[in-house]
Every structure is written in structure tokens, then in C-alpha cells.
Amino acid sequence: MATIYGELKPSPRILLGPGPSNVSPRVLKAMATPMLGYLDPEFIKIMDETADMLRAVFGTTNTLTFPVSGTGMSGMEAALCNIIEPGDEIIVCIKGYFGGRIADIAGRIGGKPTVVEAEWGKIIPPEKVEDALKKVKAKVVAIVHAETSTGILQPLDEISKIVHNHGALFLVDCVTSLGGQPVDLDRRCIDISYSGTQKCLGGPPGLAPISFSEAAVKAIKNRKTKVQSFYFDMNLLERYWGGEQRAYHHTLSMTMVYALREALRIVLEEGLEARYARHQCNADALKAGLTAMGMKLVAQEGYRAPMLTTVAIPDGVADANIRKALLNEYGIEIGGGLGVFAGKAWRIGLMGESSTQSNVLLLLSVLEKLLSREGYKVEPGIGVSAVVRIK
């Protein structure tokens, strides 16, 4: 006998982890919009509008800009499998967990990754990229903009210049930064970039916006071998997402396209500058509060990402107890440490809809209570008052 389980009733959550972030009711409502056929002229128009708004958020006029199906990782796969052919040299900058994945995938495709490393919690110094480019004739240099495992926001301008001086293509993972900090593909001469919908764009997980510059498109057209992935082959996908004669490639999730379209409308209505300022302001407040409570931020000062804060778990405090209590007693999710930071740091996300002053104040006051319960000494109200005192 089949069991019929109960109706879906997830508890309300305040999502302050590394993603997903909270989703606006407007986006949820858009997801209840009825299906259209994948070649229905009305759906094609919705796809075009979505791609167009994506260009505005990416800061690009790149024709080859649209979301691929799947989460942020599908963007990573799609970017690498189109640009890398077996035997191609790629320099991968690794300063955390996600840089490591780029190197892994590049190798699986048959590329030859050369790794440039920085300690977890630090940026990649541009000189290191230059040194690597002097040794290796790389086709691509890849780097993560906002490294979600460490809370570092990597400066890109100088590295971009170095990469292009050596005639390589510049690939940037913008999964966590897009919609929360300027990505500015055209101004920064970024050739290949991908993102995800569930971080600062304020959508549910399920699509990966991606964009290729003219130089990157040329490199794809000049490939000697077919793209190994049918699903992510840009040559095929571009005939569905653009051109006069739209051709079926795979069935898009209309629901996800509706969601992304609505999320992008919200981003552009708020205004990019205002949105970046909001992310920065709430992150500054959180950091001020945590510091006032005597906690240590682990990402290099001056390069701390506004959408993700890493903070050291105080000595003697049990990681799991705090995160469990946050979730079970207050419905608040924060992230545990990843990789080198596992058990050592928490990852607090303030992304998209989740980036609000009230969430900051709530988290600081609840943390104070839970940390005191664990025996950590903190002056009552000091975190919250540090925030309230900010102009």
C-alpha cells in the first residue's frame, strides 16, 4: 500500500546561510503562472525579456547571455566545457572551496589546470597570476569573485589587465556576487561568467545565468572538437535562446524562467546601485555587531564580501548546538564552515531579500542569547547597540 504523505508545510525560515536566500512573494506568485509551450511565441518573448534584464545586471551587451538549466554548478560546467578543449591549459585561482571545484571540472573535461593558490580567507595577489602566465601559455584564467567558503570578495580589475596582456580569456565565477555587488562584465573585460539564481538575485535555485564575450564566442566557434556536453553546448543552446528560427534543444522550466524574470524585475526596480549599497550597509552592520560581541572575522580585512560574512566560532562554543538552536528555536539558518573552515567558522549570508537591517538585529540578539547559554561571555545588548549606533 502506497503511503500518501501529508500536505507540504515547511516551517517559516529566515535564510541567512550561503544560499538559498529568502524569495520574495512576488517571485513565488510568478512561479504559480501556468505553463506555456517551449516554443510558444509568448514564452519566447518572456525568454528574451529575461535575457535582456540579465544583461543589465551583468553589465554587458554580450549577445550570448541567458540562463542555463540547473543550479550555479551547471553554470560552472557549461562555462568550462564550452571554453576548454582536451589539452587546453587553464590557470585556476584557488582561495577556497569553489575555486577547487573549477580545477576539478577543468581536469575532468581534459583541460590541464595550473593552480594559483592563496590561503583560505585571503585574496589572490595579482602578481601570482602574472607569474603563472609567464610560465604557462594559458587559454583561460579562472577565478571566483565572491568566494562563498571564505567570505572574500576578490578584486578583479588588475588581474583582468594581466590576463588580457597575456592574450588569455578571463573567466569569473559570479554565483554569489551577481545582484549583490557590481560584476560589470564589459567594464572589467570579463570574457566568461556564470551565476546562480538563489543567492543575491533573490530567486529559487534552478537556473544559472551565463554570459560569453565576443572573444569567448570566437574561441567556442574555433574549437577543433565538439563540446563534450550536449546539454550545455552553447552552439545548440544559442539557437533556442536567440536568432530568427528558434529550435528546440531541451524543455526549459517555464516556472524557473518566470521566477528569474520576476526576480530580475525586482532587482532593476530597486536599482543596481541602491541594491549594492543595501548589501554593503547591512553587511557593515553585521560585522560591527559581531566584532562588538568580541567575535573574530576570518576574511582578510579590506576584502570582505558584503553578501557573506565568515566569523570564527568562539573557543569552547559547540558549533552544532548554536546552529541547531538558531534553526529549531528561531527558524534562522546560518551556514557551517566548509573545507578548511569546517567546525571553525560560521558563514552568515545576507543575500538578496535576506539582506535586511531587521535580520541583522534579530540574528545579533539571538546569537547573544545562545552564546551566553553556551558559556560565552558577552555584554548584554552590545552587538545590537553597535548597529543602532551606526548612522
Ligand X SMILES: *Cc1c(COP(=O)(O)O)cnc(C)c1O
Which residues fall within 8 angstroms of residue 162, CB to CB, at 6 or more apart? 126, 129, 130, 133
Q: Looking at beta carbons only, is 60 or 176 nearer to ligand X?
A: 176
Q: Looking at beta carbons only, is 73 or 281 nearer to ligand X?
A: 73
Which residues fall within 8 angstroms of residue 161, CB to CB, at 6 or more apart? 189
68-76, 285-293, 328-336, 357-365 -> range binding ligand X (CB under 6 A): 68-76
For residue 183, CA distances in Å to 25, 172, 276 come to 26, 9, 11
Q: Looking at beta carbons only, is 179 or 196 nearer to ligand X?
A: 196
- Name the residue whose CB lies closest to ligand X: 72
Give the SS3 label for residue 169.
Answer: strand
Q: What are phi and psi of 333, to 5 degrees?
A: -105, 130
Q: Looking at beta carbons only, is 44 or 115 nearer to ligand X?
A: 115
Query: Among 36, 44, 53, 73, which residue sits at the site for ligand X (rule: CB under 6 A)?
Result: 73
Site membership for ligand X, residue 213 (CB under 6 A):
no
Tell me the closest approach of the beta carbon of residue 174 to ligand X, in angstroms.
Answer: 8
Query: Among 196, 209, 336, 337, which residue sits at the site for ligand X (rule: CB under 6 A)?
Result: 196
Closest by CA to 249, choosing from 258, 240, 238, is: 240
Query: Among 16, 17, 19, 297, which residue sits at the site for ligand X (rule: CB under 6 A)?
Result: 19
Site membership for ligand X, residue 72 (CB under 6 A):
yes
Which residues fall within 8 angstroms of residue 356, CB to CB, at 6 or more apart? 282, 350
Query: Among 205, 336, 337, 383, which residue sits at the site for ligand X (rule: CB under 6 A)?
Result: 205
Tell me the closest approach of the beta carbon of residue 353 to ligand X, in angstroms.
Answer: 17
Query: Among 65, 71, 154, 213, which residue sits at the site for ligand X (rule: CB under 6 A)?
Result: 71
Give the SS3 label for residue 308.
Answer: strand
How many residues comprise the chain? 391
Closest by CA to 78, choosing from 239, 240, 183, 210, is: 210
- Residues in contact with ligand X, counted by CB under 6 A, come to a total of 13
For residue 240, CA distances in Å to 214, 261, 321 come to 19, 17, 49
Task: Sketch the per residue contact string, 91 through 130, with ligand X: x for CB under 6 A, - otherwise.
Answer: -------x--------------------------------
Tell me the closest approach of the beta carbon of residue 119 to ligand X, in angstroms.
Answer: 17
Touching ligand X, residues 132-191 (CB under 6 A): 144, 148, 173, 175-176
Distance CA 193, CA 213 (A): 9
Site membership for ligand X, residue 335 (CB under 6 A):
no
Distance CA 267, CA 281 (A): 17
Q: Binding residues for ligand X, per CB under 6 A? A: 19, 71-73, 76, 98, 144, 148, 173, 175-176, 196, 205
